[in-house]
Amino acid sequence: MKTVFFLVSFMCLFLLSSQAADMNTTLEYADKTVYKKLLLSLEQEKNVTSETALEKSLLEILLRQPQKHMPTIALRMPKNSNDYRILFAAYIDIAIHNEHLRRQLKNRRQKIKTIESEIYKLDQNDPKLLSYQLQDALYHHNTLLYNKEMDIQRQQMQKILKILTLSLEQISIDSAAAGKMLSTRQALVQKLHLDINRLQIDKEQTELVNDKTDTLIIDRKIQKIQKLYAQAVKETATYEFLLFSHALKRKEHQVFALAKTIKALLGSTPELSVSAKAVMALLESMEKHYLGQIETFEGSGIQELKDIFQQSWELVNRPIFMINKTPISVFKLFWALVILVAGFLIGSFYKGRIQDLSLNRHSLTTSTRTILANIGYYIILLIAFFMTLNVLGIKLSSLALVAGALSVGIGFGLKNIVSNLVSGLILMFERSVKIGDYVELDDTLKGYITDIRMRSTTINTNDNIDIIVPNQRFIESNVVNWTMRDNLRRFFIPFGVKYGTDPQQVMDIVMKAVMESEYRNEIHDAPDKRNRVIMTGMGDSSVDFELLVWIEGAKMRRPKRTKSEFLVLIYKVLYENNIEIPFPQRDLHIRSVDEGVSFMTECRYMPKERT
């Protein structure tokens, strides 16, 4: 059964294929005689249909097809630089035409594939079959003609290349004259480009008002000027080619940059861009002939690297946003960041260097060192900031409006910050407080000044706590500077004794004990600064005295500890001399007592005897 099924299927396919139309290659490769006979037979038919009319038209077109290729252009050796330039222009024209033929050939081949697939779908008796076959034959004739014409044009391009290469040695090129003509053509190209832009603007305006007549007129003008523009660009490229040939003749490496310029010129217009590849092949062939394979490869590589660098440079310099109508690019931002970082690093290095130098020079105090370091640091940062603005292209005059607006904000929101900055400058230059001074701002805040910055000052307390104090407080509040002139301070040590004690004895023994104590080296005694004990009053329970002692050195910066040591000393000396230190006593006087109140006149509590 399976065998029978396969045989039946095969026979069906064979019958279908036998009924399918063929390509009729006789028509594809026939001469005009065959087409004439076929046309006569169609003209004799009385029943004329649309398919018959189409077949007649196709046959008439086939009869008009040229049997030979187009004549070639006569080429001759150039006698001067102008002939040399015109020959290069002819090369461009042939390259453009050859590229157009290549595109038409590609289009015809695609149509041939489409129409042949349609023919295979038709039956042998289909009325459309002959028209499809004739159209397929027309396309084949076109492809043959295009191939022949392209071969001839490629041969001509090779001949022009050979002539341009060999005749360069005998051609005298005036580079100065070529440069002048090039400038003239460049000016013309620029003018025509502006004219095209103006006409395109006018065309858009007419389209907005729906004026079709004026739009059509302007469109024709644009097309006309575009042709002139393409011609001017081509002439500009020919003069660039003269400069290229002059540099190549002298074996200058400038040829690679000139070749790039020629390529850019040809690529600037759609009409000429199709010739860029062929022209670059011509230029490269001439470079290899005069410079050699290795030098051409090396020069091309260098030029390629330059092109990559140029493209990268244009990319990083492309504006990404605007500040006050000033374009800001990635490169500007990067360069500004580098300057800011460099300014910060240089400022930090300067600050550290000043501190290191001051350690080796005793003439520089800690305060002077800090002032020099901080002022220099902020000046370097300020210079880096203005350099950054200059790199970004932002002029200070353009910031006047912004600064005016910011002044309002400074007057309100940033008032304290600005006040602290100004106060910091005052402290640095006035030097009323310095690094290392022991200051007291209130009863709870005292300590050494360890750093003075633009906005704040750091105080290290006796508890080794760093407190950041705004500079404004040093200017507006009372500040006690214990060490402004020297490390000398008078302490007041109060104490009391009981009534009945000889005051002079108390003053003598306390004064003697103080002057003979272990603290005598820290005690300062001078005619204008005497240490003494004075009686300050007679209190409720004691006679009050006060030790007035001048202390210099480190102890004067530890007031609580120093006061405690002297109190302990006074207590010991009073105890050793049997002088009592009183405590508060009160006498109670009773005027009247209620009847129900009784007084205990004797101690009713008696301790139990031990057994």
**Domain CATH number, residue 440:** 2.30.30.60
Least confident residue range of 206-210, 373-377, 399-403: 399-403
Instruction: Give me the number of domains the chain comprises.
Output: 5
Helix (H) or strand (E) holding 470: strand 466-470
Using the structure block, give the residue that is written with the tokens 């053509």. 185
Domain boundary among 167, 194, 219: 167
Instruction: Please indicate, yes or no, whether residues 429 and 341 belong to a single structural domain of this protein.
Output: no
Instruction: Please indicate, yes or no, whether residues 297 and 203 belong to a single structural domain of this protein.
Output: yes
386 within a domain of the structure (yes/no): yes
Task: Yes or no: say if 94 and 153 are a contact pair by the CB < 8 Å rule.
Answer: yes
Instruction: Please indicate, yes or no, whether residues 258 and 305 belong to a single structural domain of this protein.
Output: yes
352 within a domain of the structure (yes/no): yes
pLDDT of residue 610: 44
Domain boundary among 282, 316, 350: 316
Instruction: Please indicate, yes or no, whether residues 123 and 37 belong to a single structural domain of this protein.
Output: yes
Strands 456-460 and 466-470: antiparallel
Instruction: Please indicate, yes or no, whether residues 339 and 309 belong to a single structural domain of this protein.
Output: no
Query: HSE-up of 350 (CA within 13 Å, CB side)?
Result: 17
pTM: 0.55
pLDDT surpassing 70 at residue 244? yes
547 within a domain of the structure (yes/no): yes
Task: Note down the domain range covering 356.
Answer: 330-413
Using the structure block, give the residue that is written with the tokens 């005069």. 290
Instruction: Please indicate, yes or no, whether residues 92 and 201 belong to a single structural domain of this protein.
Output: no
Tens digits of per-residue pLDDT, 298-315? 767 776 777 777 778 777
Q: Which of 315, 330, 349, 350 lies closest to 391 in space, CA to CA? A: 330
Question: DSSP states of 63-77 as a string?
Answer: HHS-SSPPPPPP---
pLDDT band at 16 (very low <50, low <70, confident <90, very high): very low
196 within a domain of the structure (yes/no): yes
- Torsions phi, psi for 260 (to 5 deg): -65, -40
Instruction: Between 23 and 457, name the one with better pLDDT.
Output: 457
H helix runs in 65-174, sequence order = 81-121, 129-167
Query: HSE-up of 366 (CA within 13 Å, CB side)?
Result: 10
pLDDT of residue 96: 92
| Range among 318-327, 377-386, 414-423 with highest mean pLDDT value | 377-386
The residue type of 214 is D
- Torsions phi, psi for 605 (to 5 deg): -95, 120
Residue 165 to residue 160: CA distance in whole angstroms: 8
Helix axes 81-121, 212-249, angle to 10 degrees: 120
606 within a domain of the structure (yes/no): no
> How distant is the alpha carbon of residue 178 from its chain centre?
42
144 within a domain of the structure (yes/no): yes
Tens digits of per-residue pLDDT, 96-118? 999 999 999 999 899 989 988 88
Over residues 163-179, the mean pLDDT reads: 90
- The residues pairing with 488 across neighbouring beta strands, listed in sequence order, are 552
pLDDT surpassing 90 at residue 236? yes
Instruction: Please indicate, yes or no, whether residues 361 and 469 belong to a single structural domain of this protein.
Output: no
Instruction: Please indicate, yes or no, whether residues 137 and 201 belong to a single structural domain of this protein.
Output: no
Instruction: Please indicate, yes or no, whether residues 433 and 368 belong to a single structural domain of this protein.
Output: no
596 within a domain of the structure (yes/no): no
Residues 6+ apart with CB under 8 A from 42: 52, 55, 56, 59
Domain boundary among 316, 340, 368: 316
Instruction: Please indicate, yes or no, whether residues 106 and 148 belong to a single structural domain of this protein.
Output: yes
pLDDT band at 5 (very low <50, low <70, confident <90, very high): very low
Task: Yes or no: say if 436 and 483 are a contact pair by the CB < 8 Å rule.
Answer: yes
125 within a domain of the structure (yes/no): yes
Instruction: Please indicate, yes or no, whether residues 102 and 206 belong to a single structural domain of this protein.
Output: no
Given its phi and psi angles, is residue 114 left (phi above 0), alpha (psi -120 to 50 degrees) or beta?
Answer: alpha
Give whole-number Cα distances, 532 to 521, 539, 553, 555, 580, in Å.
Answer: 17, 20, 19, 19, 21
Instruction: Please indicate, yes or no, whether residues 117 and 192 belong to a single structural domain of this protein.
Output: no
pLDDT surpassing 70 at residue 397? no
Tens digits of per-residue pLDDT, 72-97? 667 788 889 999 999 999 999 999 99
